Amino acid sequence: MTTRRNFMTAGAALSGLALAGLPRRAHANVMLTAVSYLPPSYADLAYGSQGFVDRVNEAEGNAVTIDYHDSARLVSADEQLPALRSGTVDLMFHTTSYITRSLPILGVLGLPGVVGSLYENPDRLRRDGPLFALIESELQKQGLTCLTLGGGIMEPEYIWSVESAPITSLDDIQGKKIRLVSFEASAALEHFGAAPVRVPSSELYIALERGTVDAAVANISTINGRSVQEQVKYAYRLPVTAFAIGAFMTTRRWDALPDDARETLIQAAEWFDEDSARAANQDWFRDKYWPEFKEGGLEVTDPTEAELAEFDAINADVRQVWLDEVGPEVGRQAIDLALGGGA
């Protein structure tokens, strides 16, 4: 039988152990539910999020543990942000292109005329830089905290075309049926006479095979992941749009975490910032996929400086639509920072 005397005696004994220097947990281990729609088969893009989770779960002290659900097993890609806001999940890894309609500040990472320079200079998106700070401050207004954006955008989305309808210049875009997903990419290529067709990546291979589309705007990860290199003959490396992969929480949930749990997550975010985009862009895309595709017969054409300048100039209105959405002062500052200007 437990009595008040027994309880007080036990409490005194525990206090005595603590005073003797024996460890005692200050609080219970924090469990976070995290999601990503990317499957492990997309090893290039999934590398960063899985590495983040592993570093948290293996961290000394076990201040926080992540229960991770990839492959859209818990919620779909479109459901991730609502689930985060409602508290159904605590942490999400998401490609920014999916959520720019809800979080328009992220659209700067996919703007035509901006992504080429931003890709070539990944340090501009590091979590300790002014562009990240600006994006973070805008997300805070919507009650969100961004832990990292991967330390850079992924290699831009280029135009991949079939042998019977080659696209190797801006002029070749005229009249072509092109698989496009984002608003920015669709608007950018419509200026050059493209007929946008929305095709999910899961159906892209068949769409090219059957002639539903002549070409696709896609990241090289999608091309490899869906074996699209078997259907296309040409890659025109015009930087149409791009995306980053970020880790997001609600500010309410972030602020409620104990200090040691936040510190563990920050350490994982710093690793993610150093290695996520770098590993995908260099170890996978540059060193593995491009050499394999070229060896398989893919013909690669890079745009001329004149073509890049024309593409940039003609798409000023696409950038203006985004500026009107986020506000001209914040938008121009974000573009300036993405292009290497001062804060």
Total number of domains in the chain:
2
pLDDT digits (tens, 9 = 90+) for 27-54: 558 999 999 999 888 999 999 999 999 9
In a domain, 247, yes or no: yes
**Residue 23 scores a pLDDT above 60:** no
**Residue 17 scores a pLDDT above 60:** no
pLDDT of residue 11: 42
Classify 231 as helix, strand or coil.
coil
| Sheet strands (E) in 26-111 | 30-35, 64-69, 91-95
pLDDT of residue 130: 98
**Residue 14 scores a pLDDT above 80:** no
Q: Are residues 247 and 322 in the same domain?
A: no
Closest CA to 276 of 243, 244, 242, 239: 244
What does the alpha-carbon distance between residue 260 and residue 82 come to, in Å, rounded to a whole number?
27
What's the CATH number where 311 sits?
3.40.190.10
Burial 101-113 (b: 16+ CB within 10 A, else e): eebbbbbbbbbbb
User: What's the domain range around 170?
Assistant: 157-241+301-326
pLDDT digits (tens, 9 = 90+) for 258-284: 999 999 999 999 999 999 999 999 999
Q: Are residues 37 and 47 in the same domain?
A: yes
Q: Are residues 253 and 217 in the same domain?
A: no
Kindly state the helix (H) or strand (E) to which residue 312 belongs, with its residue range.
helix 305-314
Q: Find the mean pLDDT for residues 2-6.
A: 41
